[in-house]
Amino acid sequence: MTIGPKGTLLVTNRLDNSIVAYPAGGSLEKADTPTTIVNGLNDPTSLVMHGGYLYIGERQSVARVALGDDLKAGPTQRIIDNLPDGGHNTRTVLIGPDNRLYVSVGSSCNVCIEQDPHRAAVWVYNLDGSEGRLFTKGLRNAVGLAVNPWTQTVWADVNGRDLIGNDTPPETVYELVDQGDAGWPRCHAGDIHDPDFGKAANACQGVMQPLVKMQAHSAPLGLDFYPTKATQFPDNYRNSLYIAFHGSWNRTKPTGYKVIRVPLNNGKVSGPPEDFIAGWLDNNNSVSGRPVGITFAPDGSLFVSDDSNGNIYHVWYQK
């Protein structure tokens, strides 16, 4: 999801390969009539609006369409078309503070040596898709990307590997650096040697250290920073990073299925993650929802998507 012209919520619909616009309604409780504005995409999984264009992450490409205030979209132009197919199949796009296009592609596997340098990495391109190059590697599956508004750096949440225990390795958040290496597949979360690929004594030497470590197998997907000028949430909920946990599949006791908040102070992590919205996982391990996307409206209220029920929730503070 992303916010488009005039505060309109724009959402990818993977079911029919389209982009749907939800204009604001007469109240916070309900959107106005939705409209499909782009069709004919190839499994769209992320969106970002910038400079009059909507950039769309697709299964093997990045597309962009001109989009005016009237929500009339121009023709679809695929500006990057060499992304690998399969494996972790989300393709996240972000416009960075340097006015360049960042694209995240997950690994093809749980843990392996990749042959394609696009895999388990974030690449950076010009806005027209040209001059692409590797930016940060060793990121098993960095689904969420966002610009920290205080530090003007790109942050990413990363889904850690499976099948080495209920609580190992932790899910992580990194501040991306140019030519940085987060260590996958040999090293996880900064200091955990992989049992298959990290047997060397120096497997974790020189890798990036995560800013945040979170419960393993939570499956962090969308993330967003609370807008610095917004005041809709109370003071102690504003200086924060919000992350959607899609939930586990390979843990003895399920975990995730919630939205968490990471407290910040001037853009730096200032405390451990805490639950913000929970309840989709009950005490009997029954699941009633799976959060995916997170984006803030200009007023500071929050949108959360749920791909289990096909819902979009609008969350605001009522005094």
Q: What is the model's pLDDT at position 197?
A: 98
Q: What is the model's pLDDT at position 247?
A: 98
Instruction: Please name the residues in contact with 178: beta carbons below 8 A apart, sequence gap of 6 or more.
Output: 135, 136
The answer to whether residue 147 sits within a structural domain is: no
With beta carbons less than 8 A apart as the criterion, state whether 289 and 257 touch.
yes
The answer to whether residue 35 sits within a structural domain is: no
- pTM (2 d.p.): 0.97
Q: What is the model's pLDDT at position 299?
A: 92
Q: What is the rounded CA–CA span in Å between residue 101 and residue 154?
A: 11
User: Phi and psi of 237, rounded to 5°?
Assistant: -110, 5
| Selection from 252, 243, 237, 247 nearest residue 211 by Cα | 243
With beta carbons less than 8 A apart as the criterion, state whether 294 and 244 touch.
yes
The answer to whether residue 273 sits within a structural domain is: yes
| Selection from 85, 99, 100 nearest residue 45 by Cα | 85
Q: What is the rounded CA–CA span in Å between residue 145 and residue 95?
A: 10
The answer to whether residue 252 sits within a structural domain is: yes
The answer to whether residue 295 sits within a structural domain is: yes
pLDDT in tens, the chain (319 residues): 999 999 999 999 999 999 999 998 888 888 899 999 999 999 999 999 999 999 999 999 999 999 999 999 999 999 999 999 999 999 999 999 999 999 999 999 999 999 999 999 999 999 999 999 999 999 999 999 999 999 999 999 999 999 999 999 999 999 999 999 999 999 999 999 999 999 999 999 999 999 999 999 999 999 999 999 999 999 999 999 999 999 999 999 999 999 999 999 999 999 999 999 999 999 999 999 999 999 999 999 999 999 999 999 999 999 8
Q: What is the model's pLDDT at position 30?
A: 86
Domain that holds residue 271: 217-319
In the sheet that holds 35-38, the strands lie side by side as: 2-3, 9-13, 18-22, 35-38
Q: What is the model's pLDDT at position 29?
A: 84
Q: What is the rounded CA–CA span in Å between residue 69 and residue 54?
A: 12
Structurally, the chain folds into a number of domains equal to 1
The answer to whether residue 36 sits within a structural domain is: no
The answer to whether residue 284 sits within a structural domain is: yes
| Selection from 215, 45, 279, 67 nearest residue 144 by Cα | 45
With beta carbons less than 8 A apart as the criterion, state whether 179 and 217 touch.
no
Where residue 299 sits, what CATH number does that domain have?
2.40.10
With beta carbons less than 8 A apart as the criterion, state whether 194 and 162 touch.
no
With beta carbons less than 8 A apart as the criterion, state whether 294 and 242 touch.
yes
45: exposed, middle or buried (Cβ count in 10 Å: 0-12, 13-18, 19+) = buried
The answer to whether residue 239 sits within a structural domain is: yes
